Structure 1
Amino acid sequence: MARSSSFSVTGIRQLRGQLKRNASLQDIKNIIRLNGSELDRGMKRNANFVKGYSVGDTKRSIKLSIQDNGFTAKVAPTTNYSPYLEYGTRYMSAQPFVYPSFTVQKVKFLNDLTRVMR
């Protein structure tokens, strides 16, 4: 069973009010697009698998899609076996490439939002 990673932002009312005073929605869309593309590059950079037979299908399957009128960036591999690479099986050890990229980018994203709110 594949686990998913996510994070949530609390205090959305305060965030909305502060953003209205300090930034335009286009600034937020630019931050989301930039962080989405950086996550895409980071995930592809980490998708170098040294164990077993690797031809690069998973790396090529990682795609960025911008949704919700620019307020959502979705980056994910589309191969059906990518969870096995990420989490491992009883026959092979894990070779994570999604979660490490996500944790690095999450910090950058939150820093960018904090910078816009000042």
Structure 2
Amino acid sequence: MKFVYKIIPKSAWKEAEAQKEFKGFGIDLNDPFIHLSDGTQVASTLEKFFKSQNDLVLVEIDQESLGDSLVWEQSDGDDLFPHLYCGLPLSSVTNVYQIALAADGKHILPSHLGKVG
């Protein structure tokens, strides 16, 4: 199984759980898609968009379950980023990780993704 990831505030994820669907947050609301990252992009996404922010979660998503709604597009330089052109069904979520913030302000990711910075 291959995964893509969404980084969002814990409060936004709780709201999505209550609504049974995630329709986007922040920058997603200005675009026709939900911005996601693959496993190699999570650390740089945190550093670029969520520097020193606390109370974040990392939503792990089964990319195959998203079908044709998941499109890989050039976004930043030569990198292809996953974009989801529909709401995220919670049935596609395989895990939700708390993102810890170390004393030095760096995010600590689940062990399979490493530490930011």
TM range (shorter): under 0.3
The structure with the largest helix share of the pair is 1
TM score, norm. by length of structure 1:
0.23
Rg larger in 1 or in 2? Answer: 1
The structure with the largest strand share of the pair is 2
TM score, norm. by length of structure 2:
0.23
